[in-house]
Amino acid sequence: MRHRSLLTLASVLAGLLAVTTGMSTAAVASPAVTVPGNASASADANADGIAAVSAQETTVEVSGRATEAGDQVSIYALGAEADAADYTDGELVARTSAGAGGAFDASFPRTDQAGHDRLYDQYVAVVGSGAEAKVVGGPRYVDRLDFAPARDFDYPKAASKKGLQVEMTDDAEELGVQHAGINVAFNELMRNGPGDDPSRVVSFESGGRTFYFDADAVARLDGQIKPLSDNGILVNLILILYRSGDPNSAWPVLHDPDATVGSGTVYAFNTRTAEGVAYFTAAMEFLADRYTRADQAHGRAVGYIVGNEVDAQWVWANSGDKPLGEFLTTYARAVRIAWQATQKFWAGARTYISLTHCWTTVCGDNPDPANPTRFYAGKDVIDQLNALTKRTGDVGWNVAYHPYPQDLFDPAFWNDQAATPGFDTQQITFKNIEVLPDYLAQDDLTYAGSKRRIILSEQGCNTPGDTADAERLQAACYAYAYYKIRFLDGIDAFILHRHVDHQQEGGLRLGLWTWDDQRSEAAMPGRHKLSYDVFTGIDTARSLEVTDFAKAVIGIRDWADVIPGFDPGKLAERTPPTQVGTRNGARPVRPDVLADFETGLDGWRVSDNAATVQTVAGGYHGRRALRVRFDAAALPAWSRDAKTWKGADVVLPKPVNADATPRLSLAVRVPKPAAGEFKPGNAFYAKVRAYAGDGQVAYGLARLDPERGWNVLSLDLSGWQPRSQLARVKVWVRGSTDDDWRGSFDLDYVALSGEVAPAGAVPNIDVSATLAEHHPVGSKLSVTVTNNDVRPLAGKLALQPCGGVSVTPETLDVGGIGTGAGETFDTTVTAFDPADPDHPVICAAYEGLVLPVEFTVPPATPTSLFTFDDGVQGWVAGENVTSVARVGSFANGPGSPHGGSGALEATGAAAPASARRTVAVDLTSPLDLSGAKSVVAWVDSYGGAPGATGYEATLTVVSGSERRSTTVSTFTPDRWNELRVDVGDWAQRNKVTRLEVGFRAIGSDTPWSARFQVDDVAYLD
């Protein structure tokens, strides 16, 4: 069984994680304002002590039974963190006399003189006084919430169970996400005081005190939550705590004092001290207050997941070595506070505990397996937490489960051996996920007579390699798992992990996107995998189409053979956005203006991946325009990636009937790029989205020309039925490359009209091209023409020679390509002599529009020399290396070979960090590389050299006494770096006798026992 101790599956880079359509926000009634005590949760009617505690609007009411009638009963209130045995350290809040049968009740103010809300306290009943005083029963917390919460709205309904731990909110909307998981790192969010600059904090009153939250962290969280919830996505916040060295972080107060700092990735919240409880309570009240506002000014959250995978607490909720019962004492307090605080603001809020896929076994190693103190069985956590909260006042906790495959690296969960049908299964994975709702349906595990809810808040399917087959296996895993969850009652959401592959996730590649090798930041989006398309379509009418391939991968003929209750007629739960034709350059006639920004923002606000909106001089039609900025340093890295959509939107004061004025027009301007700002071939695009009151969406897409200044776009909504209830408009802009774009765009003159004047319009088409082979001449160049215009295309598109590239045929018949449609044509390259061979271009001309179309020359197919799949293959240790070995995995990222099943690992001696460490192979027979242009090797390494300012690696090719080398001085640890030596013009390449790889740190001579790995040594023709 694989363990997860090397993974960082809970970290936000991401944070993660957008919006969709087709979601109603008022479909399901929220829970009643009064949260009743569960019959099974109340104390035994025949037992002495407090049986129930009810929080009213202004009072707390306690009832129970003393030993006998006439007993004098004193009620003490203690902080949530206190030991009930020390009740005299608490506050005496009421005295009463027991009546018939010993029954007693008492009432006292809910708020004390300091402003503390006794909702969060625990209560102890004491009979008698002085030396005769004795506690009756155990402590009990508030288990009835008999007051009106601050907000009252229905729990929103999602179109489907499809969810994602979101990074890019714009992409989440494109994907049709319905449920989102967003990490909230308390160490970043909460400050230990106001600091020197009031603008850097957000203050909040809780319990009669003022607490402070980091303004940038709050803004980042708003920037994640609001675009998601604005589209009706159900947002669940994952409440976690990382170690922090920031002197202004509240980390020292927030973490459990028993935690073994340095051993965990995520730490348990401090509910052992009064100050820890006060800080955690304030943080929960802050989140609940901010994200349940009626105006949704900052967005809306509906779920709160307390910690991460607490059954593996040593890594994911570190609380130090302790048995489960002791761990649950403090964890249950955090769960209770989260539940009480969120219910105080909204009765629909749901609180969850978080568990791994290990059920009767543990996902980790205990120092003493007979006395587990670090890792626990998930089933034991549920059973003991249930018993504890039933005994002390039940809590409406629910379960956020993570049913990863048994082996996280192997997505074929249908082969899992540890996942069996019964309650005694070792693991609950996708294979036997039905065990979990069945188990929680048992009467003694219910809350207030109802089953506890379940979401799957983090799980995914690995891509086991860089091949098409590996992507098919990952996508098949997701399809099978989604269908199982779709037709399984008792599970509300399936929130996939991850959005983008992460380079430091222990070698796993769980994303819908690959990571971008050209960006230094982790988890930056590269390209879509097959799973991206499956995810997008799986809850739509295209569901069976996008998953058909998976049946052969899994080895089945029909989904109904393996999915109980499978019903194809119930798969289309979400209506995707409808593309409408968009004219570029046509101007509205007699418009009804919705926004001209002459007197202000006109209700427009930032949306996805943007920081601010403001009015600026130089409008399209009047004096001013709206500028949307995304240049703030606080924005996450993916927001500044040119290829992510950045935007602003407006909710119209009331829905507009556009039946008579179905042309939605606006002007968009992107600044002319500075020299070198973008890679060659970058193009700018705008997407305009129109939202109906029922959640349906129409969109128009257009390529923008910075040279034209204002690009006037006009969407034709005449064929879109919901146009009579236009409620919101959003405008997005993006580039096509992965450059860092810290910029802005301008928007003006948003209007509706019955018609547009076409004079000055240009065809709204897009053209792309893909070269099939590394050697261009004679190779196939596939040209795709996409029509985003209102009218079908007509006539010919010419492929004109430009930049030294020409093809045959030179004209393509594009007639009949309709709005939103595209067609791919195969041509053959007849000449290839571009000035920049890395960025070749051909020009596409249609009706006076000429588009430069850049394409990429595929890399040469490598001829493998050394793969290390079956051993070290003759490589030996060189200077400052003690040994070499073939390894299948390693502790540093990315944790797995670059390709195949093995890599060469070198273990360095404790030499100065800047000293070269080398490995080499001497070839018994000279290698003839006469046909080669270059030799490549992939190198990875540990980081962490003390005092190092960087790292470098060198690849050397030797022929007798002659040498050719390349040195990469921008080498990045914990990822595979390509080293390439050009040998195309080297006369000695026909007799290569030795290959050598070197590695060292830069800027430090501190002794360091470095390790590095080498893989996939090859040559390219």
Asked whether 456 and 403 are in contact (CB, 8 A), the reply is: yes
pLDDT tens digits, 926-935: 999 998 999 9
- At 304, give phi and psi (nearest 5°): -135, 115
Mean pLDDT of 737-741: 95
pLDDT for the residue 895 = 81
- DSSP bridge pairs for 103: 65
DSSP type of residue 29:
P
List of residues 6+ apart from 612 with CB closer than 8 A? 606, 628, 629, 632
Structure tokens at 786: 């996409």
Strands 201-206 and 190-191: unpaired
pLDDT for the residue 526 = 96
Asked whether 373 and 367 are in contact (CB, 8 A), the reply is: yes
3-class SS string, 326-368: HHHHHHHHHHHHHHHHHHHHECCCEEEEEECCECCCCCCCCCC
3-class SS string, 863-904: EEEECCCCCCCCCEECCCEEEEEEECCCCCCCCCCCCCCCEE
Measuring CA to CA, how many Å separate 230 from each of 237, 347, 649, 726, 746? 16, 20, 10, 15, 22
Asked whether 803 and 842 are in contact (CB, 8 A), the reply is: yes
Radius of gyration for the chain, computed over Cα atoms and rounded to the nearest angstrom: 32
DSSP type of residue 723:
G
pLDDT tens digits, 363-405: 999 999 999 999 999 999 999 999 999 999 999 999 999 999 9
Asked whether 784 and 824 are in contact (CB, 8 A), the reply is: yes
Nearest CA to 43 out of 144, 119, 131, 132 is that of: 144
Residue 960 has pLDDT above 50, yes or no: yes
Largest CA distance in the chain: 107
pLDDT for the residue 9 = 40
pLDDT for the residue 38 = 36
| Cα–Cα distance, 180 to 291 (Å, whole number) | 14
pLDDT tens digits, 25-50: 222 233 333 333 333 334 444 578 99
| Cα–Cα distance, 290 to 226 (Å, whole number) | 11
Asked whether 110 and 53 are in contact (CB, 8 A), the reply is: no
pLDDT tens digits, 90-133: 999 999 999 999 999 999 999 999 999 999 999 999 999 888 89
* Type and span of the H or E element at 959: strand 950-959
| Cα–Cα distance, 904 to 259 (Å, whole number) | 37
- Chain centroid offset of residue 280 CA: 24
pLDDT confidence band for 657 (50 / 70 / 90): very high
**Which amino acid is located at 494 in the chain?**
F
Computed over every residue of the chain, the mean pLDDT equals 93
List of residues 6+ apart from 127 with CB closer than 8 A? 66, 67, 71, 72, 73, 74, 98, 133, 134, 135, 136
Asked whether 437 and 454 are in contact (CB, 8 A), the reply is: yes
Asked whether 42 and 52 are in contact (CB, 8 A), the reply is: yes
pLDDT confidence band for 349 (50 / 70 / 90): very high
pLDDT tens digits, 326-336: 999 999 999 99
pLDDT for the residue 28 = 29
| Cα–Cα distance, 719 to 671 (Å, whole number) | 33
Q: How many residues can be counted in the chain?
A: 1021
3-class SS string, 828-841: EEEEECCCCCCCCE
pLDDT for the residue 37 = 38
| Cα–Cα distance, 176 to 178 (Å, whole number) | 6
| Cα–Cα distance, 981 to 858 (Å, whole number) | 18
| Cα–Cα distance, 662 to 751 (Å, whole number) | 10
pLDDT for the residue 894 = 77
Query: What is the sign of the dihedral through the CA atoms of 580, 586, 589 and 593?
Result: positive
Other beta carbons within 10 angstroms of residue 956's beta carbon come to 20
Asked whether 192 and 178 are in contact (CB, 8 A), the reply is: no
Q: What angle do CA 709, 713, 717 make, to 5 degrees?
A: 175
- At 977, give phi and psi (nearest 5°): -110, 135
Structure tokens at 296: 């949704």
Residue with token string 């690992």: 905
Phi-psi region of 424 (alpha: psi -120 to 50; beta: other; left: phi over 0): alpha
Asked whether 926 and 991 are in contact (CB, 8 A), the reply is: yes
pLDDT for the residue 17 = 26
419-430: buried (b, 16+ CB within 10 Å) or exposed (e) per residue? bbeeeebbbbbb
3-class secondary structure, 573: coil
pLDDT tens digits, 292-327: 999 999 999 999 999 999 999 999 999 999 999 999
Measuring CA to CA, how many Å separate 250 from each of 205, 213, 886? 16, 9, 45
46-57: buried (b, 16+ CB within 10 Å) or exposed (e) per residue? eebbbbbbbbee
- At 643, give phi and psi (nearest 5°): -85, 0
| Cα–Cα distance, 905 to 895 (Å, whole number) | 11
Half-sphere exposure of 793 (CA within 13 A, CB side): 26
Who wins on pLDDT, 20 or 761?
A: 761
pLDDT confidence band for 15 (50 / 70 / 90): very low
Strands 209-214 and 234-240: unpaired
Measuring CA to CA, how many Å separate 960 from each of 746, 989, 993, 995? 62, 10, 6, 11
pLDDT tens digits, 578-634: 999 999 999 999 999 999 999 999 999 999 999 999 999 999 998 999 999 999 988
pLDDT for the residue 30 = 30
Structure tokens at 1011: 């390790």
594-614: buried (b, 16+ CB within 10 Å) or exposed (e) per residue? bbbbeeeeeebbbbbbbbebe
| Cα–Cα distance, 13 to 736 (Å, whole number) | 22
Structure tokens at 339: 């539940």
Residue 8 has pLDDT above 50, yes or no: no
State the burial class of residue 815 (Cβ atoms within 10 Å of its Cβ: 0-12, 13-18, 19+): exposed
